[in-house]
Amino acid sequence: VYILAVETSCDETSVAVVKDGREVLVNLVASQIETHKAFGGVVPEVASRQHVECITLLMEQAIAESGIAPEQLTAIAVTEGPGLVGALLVGIMAAKALAFSLDKPLIGTHHIAGHIYANQLIGEIQYPAIALVVSGGHTEIVRMESEGRFEVVGQTRDDAVGEAYDKVARSLGFPYPGGPHVDKAAQAANSAVPLPRVWLEEGSYDFSLSGLKSAVLNLVNQSRMKGEEIDAGGIARGFQESVVEVLVGKAVRAMRQFGAKQLLLCGGVAANGGLRSELTARCEAEGITLSIPPMKYCTDNAAMIGAAAYIKWMHGEVSDLYIKGEPGMSLENWSVGRSKEQ
Ligand code: ATP
Ligand code: MG
Ligand code: FE
């Protein structure tokens, strides 16, 4: 089964060809980070226009590099949501056109299912599994009883982790996207400014990051007003320790409560050095099997979309040519078998 996958939900244009949901034949990514840097964040309309400029070329190049003739493709997959609607639409229109012209089925795919299934690109997922999704727009603990079935057991009530990182980074004076800069500063610092841990109600798997973020912004503003030098390293380290402790603590508790066999880390913040090392250490100590995809499959890419779409294909679920971008698309409703249950 050869799936050509397209991803344009945010600021990366990506096209991949994936064999059997596991083997990546080609995965091309055109990032717009440099364009959006000047604005300190992603400008939706600018993103859409850049997707338009490179999507056709990337599709042609991906097919050429895959070594697969277009007729050999089994299906065309595309991110249907969640994401920026204008950005999503560019990928969806391109994917529809290709599917129509080649007379191949179209598979509208959930972006977060893609982030989770990036783990299938490096090894077999063992179910039941727990996924810790940490990205620019999402912070979730997802329970998977079996292949392609998603239950969101906890999520952020305000900011996503990546978003909080980027806002903290901006207040500390780092360029966009700031997550990696805060990570680096945190790891280089030799002491941490004490900051609160936000666990919420006992037993809850939800997260809240806005209070912690505000605590950081207040510290920075107070120092500025007093004319003191800002301890950027100490603040970065304190922030990172707080975030990581809560993420790891809740993920490990979910693993135990649901008797899961494997913990899947995914999303752009999976690049975080503090999170990776702390999670790895805790999982080793607790005898938990942990899967972390390589960096190129953690940030937005089309290979992960091809991996998730393959599950739908194997369960005989495809989309029609009328799909449109779903900015607030539900992960649970995208589960296999769900359309039949409803
Ligand atoms: P979503 O998948 O929720 O729609 P997204 O696709 O925009 O969001 P990703 O591309 O998965 O998000 O991740 C980007 C985020 O990851 C940014 O907020 C960025 O700052 C953050 N990030 C990247 N590297 C690191 C790091 N080392 N430490 C912390 N955050 C990081
Ligand atoms: Mg991105
Ligand atoms: Fe993403």
Q: What is the pLDDT of residues 122-132, one digit of tens each?
A: 999 999 999 99
Ligand 2 mean position to 177 CA, how many Å? 9
Residue 178, pLDDT > 80, answer yes
pLDDT band at 339 (very low <50, low <70, confident <90, very high): confident
Q: Which ligand places an atom closest to the C-alpha of 135? A: 1
Which atom of ligand 1 is closest in space to residue 83's alpha carbon? 4
pLDDT digits (tens, 9 = 90+) for 297-319: 999 999 999 999 999 999 999 99
Number of H helices, E strands in the chain: 12, 10
Pocket test for ligand 1, best of 135, 216, 299 (most atoms within 8 A of CB): 135
The full DSSP string for 277-333 is HHHHHHHHHHT-EEE---HHHHSS-SHHHHHHHHHHHHTT--B-TT----TT--TGG
The answer to which of 147-151, 239-243, 279-283, 338-342 has the lowest mean pLDDT is 338-342
Ligand 1 close to Cβ of residue 180 (< 6 A): yes
Q: Region 190-199: what's the mean pLDDT?
A: 96
Report residues near ion ligand 3: CB below 5 Å. 135, 300
Q: How far apart are CA 283 and CA 272, in angstroms?
A: 16
Phi then psi dihedrals of residue 223, to 5 deg: -60, -45
Q: Is residue 159 lining ligand 1, measured as CB closer than 6 Å?
A: no
Q: What are phi and psi of 151, to 5 degrees?
A: -130, 120
| The residue type at 10 | C
Please report which confidence band the pLDDT of residue 36 belongs to, taking 50, 70 and 90 as the band edges: confident
Please name the residues in contact with 261: beta carbons below 8 A apart, sequence gap of 6 or more. 126, 127, 128, 129, 289
Calculate mean pLDDT across residues 239-257.
98
Alpha helix ranges (H) inside 9-129? 33-37, 44-66, 85-102, 111-117
Give the three-state DSSP class for 128: coil
Of the listed ligands, the closest to the CA of 209 is: 1
Residues 147 and 327: beta-carbon distance below 8 Å: no
Query: DSSP assignment of 177-197, as one string?
Result: S-HHHHHHHHHH-SS------
pLDDT tens per residue, range 159-173 = 999 999 999 999 999
DSSP state of 175: P
Gap between the Cα atoms of 24 and 14, Å rounded: 13
For residues 54-79, average pLDDT: 97
Residues measured by CB to lie within 5 Å of ligand 2, the ion = 10-11, 300
Residues 5-35: tens digit of each pLDDT: 999 999 899 999 999 999 999 999 998 888 8
- Classify residue 22 as left (phi > 0), alpha (psi -120 to 50) or beta: alpha
The annotation status of 137 as a binding-site residue, yes or no, is yes
CA of 135 to the centre of ligand 1 (A): 4
Q: What CA–CA distances, in Å, run from 145 to 22, 125, 256? A: 20, 11, 14
Distance 131 CA to ligand 2 centre (A): 19
Does the model's ipTM exceed the 0.95 cut?
Answer: yes
| Confidence label for 342 from pLDDT (cuts 50, 70 and 90) | low
